[in-house]
Structure 1
Amino acid sequence: MAGSTYGTLFTMTTWGESHGPAIGVVVDGCPAGIPLSEGDIQRFLDRRKPGQSKYTTARSESDQVEILSGVFEGRTTGTPISLMVRNQDQRSRDYGKIKDCYRPGHADYTFDSKYGFRDYRGGGRTSGRETIGRVAAGAIASKMLDQLGIHLRAYTKAIGSIVVPESAYDYDCIVHNSLYMPSDDYAQRASAYLEQCIKEQDSSGGIVECRINGMPAGIGDPVFQKLDACLARALMSIGAVKGIEIGDGFEAAASKGSINNDAFLNCQGNICKKTNHSGGTLGGLSDGSPIILRAAIKPTPSISKPQQTVTREGEETTITITGRHDPVIVPRAVVVVESMAAITIADLLMTGMSSNMENLLKIYQK
């Protein structure tokens, strides 16, 4: 299968299926000398693992990571880093009744159309469990970015129609509620909304917002490898993401140039912006402001309500999906969005080192 590798210099290749023996990732191009332990990666994986609350699947997985290569005496060696997480709680029998039907909202039909075959056990390669590899790679990228003073913070901006306004943000709340919202008040409102969805045997979507602070200006490229284009591609590769915004996003379409343009200022000898409607990018390059991006997450397609579908032979039927599924996947997607953004930034920083002669002189001139 093509398309399982992402990145140019800092790359990751994810592997494995939802109901296979294990799932994992190989990270290549990571610089040597970065302190790295299984605990560093586990902290990221714990944010996406199932069973965290009643709003996540009851599948019992510890998601314990094993480092198989690329780390020696607590530091990266510059060689490929192979990471593995063993699947421990597969219930393939839960999917036996749907092996000959196409589930609405899933990749069953499209995967079968491409390959003439599909692993119906939890979606196989198209399962959200594939994101374990992305999150593990994101933990490594974040360790690298931390040393450069670049820090990412992602959280749930909205669940359904419950949207946290920026004026209500309290970042300390993110880790204190099960929905990863930057407001306990709005988290309670969203919880009440999800309770209603559960009663109705339905699911909800939402929005994940990610802020990247400490970015230097000039990262990215002005044409096809624009910073915002690369971030959009990274986030759109996440299975449940259906839309991306950077800065004001779609609101910019209703704005005016006199409002949308960010005025430049001299901030104690440094160039800065008065506002940040652009979301930290200009002309495909970082402008030194915080990068602000949002990902729209669709409702979980696995719901208990009867749904109309067809069999592989085209016979119309009704399907009721059983098993263990998230009524909302937004909270678990928070760390996935953060990880894909971190991997993208790390890769662009490395590819940008050769953008001018001065950079090469800093590295190689004796």
Structure 2
Amino acid sequence: MASVIGNALKLSIFGQSHSAGIGCSLDGLPAGIPVDLDELQRFLVRRAPGRDETATTRREADAPEILSGITDGHTDGAPIAAVISNTNTRSADYDELRRVPRPGHADFPARVKYGNWHDVAGGGHFSGRLTAPLCIAGGIALQALAQIGVEVVAHIANLGPEGIADEPLDALELDDAQLAALRAHAFPCISTDAGEHMRRAILSARDELDSIGGVVECAAYGMPVGVGDPMFDGLENRIARIAFGIPAVKGVDFGEGFSAAYLTGSENNDPYRMVDGAVKPQTNNAGGILGGISTGMPIIWQMAVKPTPSIGSVQKSVDMDARMDCDLTVRGRHDPCIVPRAVPVAEAACALALLDALIEDGRYPAPAPKK
């Protein structure tokens, strides 16, 4: 199971949902970047389980132990290593899944690939639990980007079969009012009304022993123009590679995305004008990226998150040992909707991808020497 990604900034994630711990190593950060561990903990709490009735009842502190790479509140140039202990596990809930796979989950193909040696408890290495160490690394990357004026923000764009929609993020510039609203709301929506409607939909799915999915929209404001590469190391590629490492993500698009296929060129092209002596697109259908390279406009992208496959309703499955059809009722503790907790994970994925590109391009400035 290769769980390593990045060019200049290399992230490795280890652990399983119910192993003793989960963690990461992050190699390639320049020395001297300030890291506020209290701010990092607040970021991790946004993703952590058991904080809201719309989430799983499994409760974990998700307090990382930083083993290396940070000294005196700053990166020291060595790889950052961090671990989170798993303290609230009920592995017996998953024993049946080794032979009776959950529809929509990785149980069946994982058994074939790994010869039934894989860890099934809590989903093992396939679990959304592994987004916690992703958020450790991403939370540090967010702080590093903030040092150069890059702000990454995400919210639930729409949710569930009804398509409950939030106000879209401003595609042209950072809207301070939107940012303030997101920071003020416990539920990750700009609109209070949309957030309440979404909460009711999630609780209704939970009561019906079902689940729902949705779309997370993420934006990066303040990215300089000219960062990234064509072909295989473009900014879209880098973001998408990490985003598809988030369990339950089934689609990623940028700017107008798939909607651009239904526009004409004159509608989809972003016209240029000179503004204060600089070239500036007047619209942002491209989502801030052309040819894999940043245009200087906000980077706007979305990720589609499927409904949680582990649901309480009876589902059709098979007994792979007995080679016969059977029904499955999933036990354990599961989110009726993954989307709210996926919002900070989208921010983490975006921050890691952008910081990797900035460092590789030599665009991330070296901090002043310590006195």
TM-score scaled by length of structure 1: 0.93
Asked if residue 301 in structure 1 is aligned to residue 309 in structure 2, the reply is yes
Asked if residue 327 in structure 1 is aligned to residue 336 in structure 2, the reply is yes
Q: Is the 8 A contact 2:270 2:283 kept in 1?
A: yes
2:269 paired residue among 258, 261, 277: 261
Asked if residue 280 in structure 1 is aligned to residue 306 in structure 2, the reply is no
Give me the whole-angstrom Cα distance separating, in 2, the residues matched to 1:225 and 1:60.
38
Match of 1:348 in 2: 357
| Secondary structure at 1:326 match in 2 | coil
Match of 1:125 in 2: 125
1:202 paired residue among 210, 234, 251: 210
Give me the whole-angstrom Cα distance separating, in 1, the residues matched to 2:202 and 2:143.
34
Q: Is the 8 A contact 1:41 1:65 kept in 2?
A: no
Give me the whole-angstrom Cα distance separating, in 2, the residues matched to 1:255 and 1:55.
37
Give me the whole-angstrom Cα distance separating, in 1, the residues matched to 2:189 and 2:159.
9
| Secondary structure at 2:362 match in 1 | helix
Shift of 1:301: 0.6
Q: How many residues align?
A: 356
Moved more, 166-175 or 250-259: 166-175
Shift of 1:259: 1.0
Give me the whole-angstrom Cα distance separating, in 1, the residues matched to 2:169 and 2:185.
19
**In the TM superposition, what whole-angstrom CA distance separates every residue of 1:236-291 from its partner, at most 9, and x where no partner exists?**
12111001110011110110111111011111111111100110011111000000
**In the TM superposition, what whole-angstrom CA distance separates every residue of 1:172-228 from its partner, at most 9, and x where no partner exists?**
332444431111011111122223212221100001010100011111112221111
Q: Find runs of 4+ consecutive structure 1 residues off by over 4 angstroms.
A: none
| Secondary structure at 2:84 match in 1 | strand
Match of 2:245 in 1: 237
TM-score scaled by length of structure 2: 0.92
Give me the whole-angstrom Cα distance separating, in 2, the residues matched to 1:67 and 1:167.
34
Match of 1:163 in 2: 165
Give me the whole-angstrom Cα distance separating, in 2, the residues matched to 1:167 and 1:47.
19
Residue 342 of structure 2 aligns to which amino acid in structure 1? A
Give me the whole-angstrom Cα distance separating, in 1, the residues matched to 2:68 and 2:232.
34
Residue 359 of structure 2 aligns to which amino acid in structure 1? M
Q: RMSD value over aligned CA atoms?
A: 1.9
Residue 110 of structure 2 aligns to which amino acid in structure 1? F
Match of 2:152 in 1: 152
Give me the whole-angstrom Cα distance separating, in 1, the residues matched to 2:28 and 2:121.
33
| Secondary structure at 2:217 match in 1 | strand
| Secondary structure at 1:145 match in 2 | helix
Percent identical among aligned pairs is: 40
| Secondary structure at 2:140 match in 1 | helix
* Runs of 5+ unmatched residues, structure 2: 171-176, 366-371
Give me the whole-angstrom Cα distance separating, in 1, the residues matched to 2:273 and 2:72.
47
Give me the whole-angstrom Cα distance separating, in 1, the residues matched to 2:289 and 2:169.
23
1:102-117 correspondence to structure 2 within 5 Å: 102-117=101-116
* Runs of 5+ unmatched residues, structure 1: 361-366
Give me the whole-angstrom Cα distance separating, in 1, the residues matched to 2:316 and 2:217.
33
Asked if residue 20 in structure 1 is aligned to residue 22 in structure 2, the reply is no
Give me the whole-angstrom Cα distance separating, in 2, the residues matched to 1:198 and 1:15.
30
